[in-house]
Structure 1
Amino acid sequence: MANLAGSTSGVVNDAVSDQTSKSNTTPLVIVTILFFMWGLLTSLNDVLIPHLKAIYTLSYVQAMLVQFCFFGAYFIISWPAGMLIKRIGYQRGAVTGLVIAASGCALFYPASTSGYAVFLLAFFVLASGITILQVAANPYVTVLGDAKTASSRLTLTQAFNSLGTTIAPALGGLLILSGAVLSAEQFAAMPAVEQAAHKAKEAATVQGPYLALAGALLLLAVLFAFARLPKIEHSDSASTSNTSGQSVFAHRHLVLGAIGIFLYVGGEVSIGSFLINFLGESQIAALSAADAAHYVSYYWGGAMVGRFIGFAVMRYVSPGKALAFNAACSMALILTAIFSQGAVAMWAIIAVGLCNSIMFPTIFSMALHRLGALTGQGSGVLCMAIVGGAIVPFAQGFLADHIGLQMSFCIPAACYAFILFFGLKYAGMYNNDQQSTAA
């Protein structure tokens, strides 16, 4: 697993070959490009889920296999990714991740002519590349500056991740969902030959967009390979002063933070995954898939706006208190969406995106606080916890099939309840940096 120095111990050394690279601005800009790209790729899932559900007449649980395969890769690949990055370094690791992600995008072409199973394989390969980028980039950002502003700094880079997630649904709706979507009854009434032709036509709409993304990722990999980034190294003294054989799981705030990441990603992904179908419900907005996709952009756009706001606010407000406040607001909005109808329910669920804004970077940096030489291992644990994006939507899909889509949103509401607890428990985490790292 990658070995990083602690974010507050002051033992991280940035070995930069060029004296003009003393500033961390250039490395942050380069890493931020990666955040943008994986945001774009992740958010496109919200467009493809209803698209594939309609093409292959899937149940909600079957449709959620997209997120199960995509975010399941985080659980499977995170630990090997950490070992890979330890061996080849952060920069080469990022290039490797970009190439693998490009391969996943390229697989969408044969998937469109094969079937749903090949689509699921493509999602897994794509997510494997993104996982390597996550393992490398998130801890990189936390050490490129002062520890007390790590949450603020990671929030800023995540804002550009949200720019990608904001653009993707509208773009995907235009390029992928523009065709007429048949209901299950209409599709069943068609002759078998026409059914096959319709499936092939609709599936082929993903070919152009994902081949273009594959090319963009390969170009970014080439540019990133030749970029001049500081090498993050860990001094020998750090490895003896903080670990002495101690398990990373001995740090309670990391364990609770991993649970928080699991539930946050699960809740956020669940809402995005079901949003197009939710807005298509007759008692909510009765929107077509293509029209609803634009509102998914508002959901992710709220997170982008909130992250820019959070970047400034959390320089003065405790990250834990800001996290708890946003989690409480998320719960209130989801409950409003569950127990109301029409425009109130629609805008309530969309507004959860604004509250999501600071959650991932804040939980991530709080969980890594004062881990010292275990920071790299801690990052791997947190990235593995992103598997919540596979499990929670699957659970909500099960409920949606049995008790209805609207009531199934009680699942993400419960996720935010734990995040509220985590934020309140560690609201004063940064007030006394002289205390032991174990909570």
Structure 2
Amino acid sequence: MALIMANKNKVYTHAIPVIIFVGGFTNNVIPTLILFLKNTQGINTTYAMLLQCLLFTSYFVTLIPSTMLIQRFGYQRTLTFASLFCSISCLMIALIMYLNQNTYLYGAVFLLAFGITLLRLTVTPLLVAIRGDSNYHRTISRIMTADTIGALLSPTLSALWILNTTPDIWFCPWVFFILMALAMVGVGVKCQQTELATQTNNHHITIDGIYQSLQHRDIFRGSIATFTFIGIEFSIPVFIGLLVNEQPQQSFLSPTSMISSYWTLILAGRIISITLLRYFKPHTMIVAGSLSAIAITLFSIALFPDHLAVFLISLGLCNAYMFPCIFSIYTKRLPTELHYYASSIFLLAFAGGAVIPMLQSHLANHIGIINSFILTIVCYFLLILTITTERSPRGVELEST
């Protein structure tokens, strides 16, 4: 194994899944905050969606600082620093919400996003480093379930505090973020206790290096697929929540419960996919899932627009295995010297989680939330095209040196 996790000579198998869980949980606090702003501030969808944009835009801002920190301090200390930075950011959000100064919420959320992104950027090369595992596709799928568990728990739990309308000193927004701050301290302690050793040695990122790496077929196509899919994956639950929030007849469940249901189906599908990957190629599963999602979305918009949200949560099953498959497909054959660049570029492609939801919010303002899901269909077609097209960009392969 290229990746070794040890603590006092004992193998640690749960430190990285814990970090991935934290990332999934924190990312999906954002939809609850969006609903909070919509319900308490009366702002439009586009302005509320800026929170989502801040979360995923942070991948651009964090890339260079993360490489400098890893190069200077190594993976372990960088993970510890990122966890403590997240804790401080959560305390800032708690103070802002306690003082009811929601104007400053955007800045504090961006700082939290910076910390979470730093965690993700640091831990992802460690996942790429285990590509020598004979069951790499299935291993990645298992590890990624931690992200999904965090994602499905987050909306329901965060809503208990953030969307609570009854006066209760223990269940109010600022208490939730204090609890998150304490949890982040715990993650930092765990990171400090865990030693990480990997064959990924190149931690210095340059613009020229990014450009050169993008000449590699798998990195180029993987970044396009990641950009498209992450945009779909995070846009769907947010707009399901917004749809139910504005049209309660869509579901007897609350908006956050619907979001959690979506992520629950993703978890179920991801667990099932661990078995399916024994019999089907990842490419086949992605294409089949995309075609199914297109059919469900078109069918629901055309025939059952008043219950669209209920049908759309089933897209969780279609999306369940896609990112683990995309990640493993486009990192399986990479040479060791490209590990860090590949993982960094794929995480830069998480900006799709900012661009696509923002585009959909503009569509929703003009043609309504229901019809805005046409963009989702277009994105699935783009994903199919990316996965099934084997041509290298400009016919260039990056030489391994």
After TM superposition, the score normalised by the length of structure 1 is 0.80
Equivalent position of 1:407 in the other structure: 371
Write the deviation string for residues 321-354 of structure 1: whole angstroms up to 9, x where unpaired.
Answer: 1111112222222223322336752332101112
Equivalent position of 2:238 in the other structure: 273
Alpha carbons of 1:287 and 1:115: their partners in 2 closer, same or farther (altered >3 Å)?
A: farther
Alpha carbons of 1:340 and 1:51: their partners in 2 closer, same or farther (altered >3 Å)?
A: farther
One-letter code aligned to 1:73: S
Check conservation: 1:13, 1:235, Cα contact below 8 A.
no
One-letter code aligned to 2:95: P
Alpha carbons of 1:332 and 1:139: their partners in 2 closer, same or farther (altered >3 Å)?
A: farther
Inter-partner Cα distance in structure 1 for 2:41 and 2:10 = 55
Which among 331, 336, 356 is matched to residue 294 of structure 2? Answer: 331
Alpha carbons of 1:245 and 1:358: their partners in 2 closer, same or farther (altered >3 Å)?
A: closer
Q: Residues 186-205 of structure 1: matches in 2 within 5 Å?
A: 205=172
One-letter code aligned to 1:68: C
Alpha carbons of 1:221 and 1:58: their partners in 2 closer, same or farther (altered >3 Å)?
A: same
Residue 341 (structure 2) pairs with residue 377 (structure 1):
yes
One-letter code aligned to 2:323: F
Inter-partner Cα distance in structure 2 for 1:292 and 1:331 = 23
Aligned CA RMSD, in angstroms, stands at 2.9
Inter-partner Cα distance in structure 1 for 2:227 and 2:292 = 19
TM-aligned CA deviation for residue 233 of structure 1: 2.9
TM-aligned CA deviation for residue 356 of structure 1: 1.3
Inter-partner Cα distance in structure 1 for 2:3 and 2:246 = 54
Check conservation: 2:15, 2:190, Cα contact below 8 A.
no
TM-aligned CA deviation for residue 151 of structure 1: 2.5
Provide the secondary structure at the position in 1 that maps to 2:369: coil
Inter-partner Cα distance in structure 2 for 1:314 and 1:126 = 35
Alpha carbons of 1:323 and 1:106: their partners in 2 closer, same or farther (altered >3 Å)?
A: same
Residue 191 (structure 2) pairs with residue 209 (structure 1):
no
Check conservation: 1:400, 1:407, Cα contact below 8 A.
yes
Equivalent position of 1:194 in the other structure: none
Alpha carbons of 1:246 and 1:53: their partners in 2 closer, same or farther (altered >3 Å)?
A: closer
TM-aligned CA deviation for residue 78 of structure 1: 2.3
Equivalent position of 1:56 in the other structure: 41
One-letter code aligned to 2:345: V
Provide the secondary structure at the position in 2 that maps to 1:159: helix
Write the deviation string for residues 131-156 of structure 1: whole angstroms up to 9, x where unpaired.
Answer: 11111222212323634532321211
Which among 368, 371, 382 is matched to residue 331 of structure 2? Answer: 368
Which among 198, 209, 221 is matched to residue 188 of structure 2? Answer: 221
Provide the secondary structure at the position in 2 that maps to 1:250: coil
Inter-partner Cα distance in structure 1 for 2:53 and 2:382 = 22
Q: Residues 232-247 of structure 1: matches in 2 within 5 Å?
A: 232-234=198-200, 247=212
Equivalent position of 1:100 in the other structure: 85
Inter-partner Cα distance in structure 1 for 2:178 and 2:211 = 46
Inter-partner Cα distance in structure 2 for 1:30 and 1:426 = 36
Check conservation: 2:360, 2:375, Cα contact below 8 A.
yes
How many residues matched? 385
Residue 358 (structure 2) pairs with residue 394 (structure 1):
yes
Check conservation: 1:70, 1:123, Cα contact below 8 A.
yes
Alpha carbons of 1:344 and 1:385: their partners in 2 closer, same or farther (altered >3 Å)?
A: same
Q: Residues 306-325 of structure 1: matches in 2 within 5 Å?
A: 306-325=269-288
Provide the secondary structure at the position in 1 that maps to 2:124: helix
TM-aligned CA deviation for residue 130 of structure 1: 1.1
Residue 126 (structure 2) pairs with residue 140 (structure 1):
yes
Unaligned runs of 5+ in 1: 1-9, 181-197, 237-243, 428-435
Alpha carbons of 1:40 and 1:18: their partners in 2 closer, same or farther (altered >3 Å)?
A: closer
Inter-partner Cα distance in structure 2 for 1:224 and 1:368 = 25
Unaligned runs of 5+ in 2: 203-208, 392-396
Equivalent position of 2:314 in the other structure: 351
Equivalent position of 1:118 in the other structure: 104
Write the deviation string for residues 71-95 of structure 1: whole angstroms up to 9, x where unpaired.
Answer: 1101211233133223322222211
Check conservation: 2:83, 2:187, Cα contact below 8 A.
yes
Equivalent position of 2:394 in the other structure: none
TM-aligned CA deviation for residue 19 of structure 1: 6.4
Check conservation: 1:39, 1:161, Cα contact below 8 A.
yes
Q: Residues 152-163 of structure 1: matches in 2 within 5 Å?
A: 152-163=138-149
Inter-partner Cα distance in structure 2 for 1:115 and 1:410 = 36
Inter-partner Cα distance in structure 1 for 2:315 and 2:183 = 31
Check conservation: 1:327, 1:420, Cα contact below 8 A.
yes
Equivalent position of 2:229 in the other structure: 264
